[in-house]
Copies of this chain bind each other. A is one copy, B any other.
């Protein structure tokens, strides 16, 4: 008998199809891809090729050096094929029927490492920390931009996850609208708070820690677990223990511990699931809607080990073939390697 589970924080239903159930290691990626070189002449993100990208907005150069030249450890610039552009103001057009707004916003690329063939799974926690420092600096710069309603941070690893360039990078899109998924998460979290006077993410984390079976990693500042109603095999959430609706830039955000936690989770996934393609997405409160009582920022890692099809796109119900109670201990067995 299959089981249909509901995620409390999103009200999302997921079918666990036990008739086609797989052991966690049956869901992992098969087949070898050719190793990439440390430097690629064609790659616009490799050191020495800075002229192939728009000018940098932030870069870390531990040993100094001129902007837009080699010597950087992490480097951020506008996406050359940006979905949104920072020029101009937001205008609403044709409000009668065919509504649109001008595509004003930001779309950054943050190159995470000088080496073409690195990934967070093979980087050190110290290198990950430098990436997070650039991201939080960029967040701080964009907090004051009145045109940006939401800052979406995401990472696409591999072709199946929508990445077109191998060189390790994260992207940041600042949108002039609050995304529909964010609005839905906020509405569900607010309703839960109004009914129970507690945060649904705090409560979920407490219940997951008490149950323990789906917990991947637990430290003083963060908890990583596979949600009870995971949509994808090995889906993992990283949730801060300190309730905070968005990433902040003071000592309430333990950035060093977050770098260690994120790197450890991605390392375990890399080893357990055969270097899978995945998306990493930050969920946080909108820029001008602080949602302090009821929302709670977190990071979702969704390995692309299955292909969403007509049923998932049409209904929003997901079918998962791997139980998180089986995937989590398998992932944990790779801890510290």
Contact = CB atoms under 8 A, between A and B. Distances in A.
Given A2-B103, A171-B311, A307-B162, A317 B180 contact: yes
Contacts of A13: 177, 179-180
**Oligomeric state, in copies:** 2
Interface string A1-40: 1111110100111011111100000000000000000000
A84 interface: yes
Interface string A212-248: 0000000000000000100000000000000000000
A66 interface: no
Q: Name, among A4, A84, A175, the residue most crowded by chain B CB atoms within 10 Å (CB to CB).
A: A4
Interface string A304-337: 0011111111111101000000000000000000
A153 to B, nearest CB: 9
Contact of A316 (B171, B180, B306): B180
A202 interface: no
A97 B203 CA distance: 9
Interface string A176-210: 11011110100000000000000000010001000
A139 to B, nearest CB: 16
Contact of A2 (B5, B83, B211, B319): B83
Q: Name, among A101, A150, A162, A228, the residue most crowded by chain B CB atoms within 10 Å (CB to CB).
A: A162
B100 A19 contact: no
Contact of A180 (B12, B162, B179): B12
Contacts of A306: 162
A102 interface: yes
Interface of A: 1-6, 8, 11-13, 15-20, 81-85, 87-88, 97-104, 150, 152, 154-156, 159-163, 171, 173, 175-177, 179-182, 184, 203, 207, 211, 228, 279-283, 300, 302, 306-317, 319
6 contacts: A4-B101, A13-B177, A15-B84, A162-B308, A179-B316, A181-B316
